[in-house]
Amino acid sequence: MKQSYSIIALPGDGIGPEVLAQGLRILRTAGELFQIDFRIEEIECGGHYYAEHEIEWPAGSFEKCEAADAIILGAVGHEVDGKTVFTKAGKPYPEAQLAGFAQVIANRQKLDLYANVRPIKLYPGVKHKIHGELKEVWEAGKVDYVVIRENTEDAYTGETNEIADGRITPIRITRRATERVVRYAFNLARRRDKQLKVACVDLKLDYAYVDAFCQWQIRNPEWYDVVVAPNLAGDIISDNGATTAGGLGLAVGGNIGDEHAMFEPIHGSAPKHAGKDKANPLAAILSVRMMMDWLGTRDEDERLIRAAEKVESAVEELLSEGKTLTYDLIGEEKASRCSEVGKAVEDKLRAMV
């Protein structure tokens, strides 16, 4: 059993720091309750850091990510006067990129985090915001699958070239990257008990074009258990699927490779909500849950696996009670603050252990 776990926390931009603060609150609480020594180092980074320093984080930060047991990310994407900050050509990338590229895209590529694992799971009691109203549309138990998004190539290589009347951005799809992510998806499908109940022998394989899939996943999410897709399509279908599971405020992604892993809420930095203590911290908290589960499985450390289970139960209980939740899940009038929701999860966790 490892003596301690080193975690790099990258708060980033917008609502990233406030939701990650609640995620880290839960990580620290879990550490205390299950006697796990987490060594957490936070590194300021992202678009706002670039706007000030012309680099996306202090020198040596990537090496710290590389050396850590796991990375937890808030969100990147910063606006100045309503405009998203991009890096300047040549500083440091040949072409302009979203400032925050180093934390999200470059980390995924340089640490070879080839599988982006995004569960689409609807917890009981969660309402859907449709036509501006909160109502239960999809049924819990009928939305429970995992999107595996290829995470190192496709339209995300960073390469983009100017042409006479626009730009060309290549879509790179290699056999090597495709095979390993598909293999990851198959292994996951074999481990999922839902599938084992359905077909004891082996897996049932189906293919769909992404446009058709987008409507099937809304109409019949119960058809799916594991879905594997190229990077860009996977980005879109994971957000689309999140709608059926209560929205982006609950959507989580684990960027997973053979050596490293980085966990993140997938909602983005939402600059207009930043600094208001309003955003939903549950995706960040569930990212912490996923990180503990991954670490516990990797190192065969029961404490982490149990901690992950308890955090999920605490969140589940909070959701089914339907009282202490942020505006996206309960409406503006009844809404609790981001920090209140974090505190409520902490209290439930303490009461459970």
CB of 266 to Mn ion, least distance (A): 5
Q: 264 pairs with which residues across the strands? A: 253
- Answer with the entry of ligand IPM, Mn ion, none that 335 interacts with (C-beta below 5 to 8 A by kind): none
CA atoms of 186 and 176, how far apart (whole Å): 16
CB of 309 to ligand IPM, least distance (A): 26
Give the residues lining the site for ligand IPM (CB under 6 A). 104-105, 235, 266
Q: 305 pairs with which residues across the strands? A: none
Residue 314 φ then ψ, to 5°: -60, -45
Closest to Mn ion by CB, 104 vs 349, is 104
- Answer with the entry of Mn ion, ligand IPM, none that 106 interacts with (C-beta below 5 to 8 A by kind): none
Q: Which two tokens stand for residue 300?
A: 């065969």
Closest to Mn ion by CB, 56 vs 235, is 235
- Answer with the entry of ligand IPM, Mn ion, none that 328 interacts with (C-beta below 5 to 8 A by kind): none
Residue with tokens 């983005």: 268
- Answer with the entry of ligand IPM, Mn ion, none that 148 interacts with (C-beta below 5 to 8 A by kind): none
Closest to ligand IPM by CB, 56 vs 301, is 56
Closest to Mn ion by CB, 105 vs 318, is 105
What would the DSSP string read from start to end of 201-225?
SS-------HHHHHHHHHH-GGG-S
CB of 160 to ligand IPM, least distance (A): 13
Q: What is the CA angle 172-176-177, rounded to 5? A: 55
- The residue nearest Mn ion at its CB is 235
Site string for Mn ion, 232-251 (x = CB under 5 A): ---x----------------
Closest C-alpha to 86, from 73, 74, 101, 75: 101
Closest to ligand IPM by CB, 85 vs 266, is 266
Write b or e for each residue in 295-328: b if 16 or more Cβ atoms lie within 10 A of its Cβ, otherwise e. bbeeeebebbbbbbebbbebbbbbbeeeebbbbb
CB of 38 to Mn ion, least distance (A): 27
Closest to ligand IPM by CB, 104 vs 286, is 104
- Answer with the entry of ligand IPM, Mn ion, none that 104 interacts with (C-beta below 5 to 8 A by kind): ligand IPM
Provide the 3-class DSSP secondary structure of residue 315. Answer: helix
CB of 313 to ligand IPM, least distance (A): 27
Pairing of strands 5-12, 38-42: parallel
Stretch that binds Mn ion, among 35-43, 69-77, 229-237, 285-293 (CB under 5 A): 229-237
CB 335 within 8 A of CB 278: yes
Closest to Mn ion by CB, 17 vs 234, is 234
**Does residue number 264 form part of the binding site for Mn ion (CB under 5 A)?**
no
- Answer with the entry of ligand IPM, Mn ion, none that 72 interacts with (C-beta below 5 to 8 A by kind): none
Strand order in the sheet with 144-150: 38-42, 5-12, 70-75, 261-265, 252-256, 115-121, 144-150, 226-229
- The residue nearest ligand IPM at its CB is 235
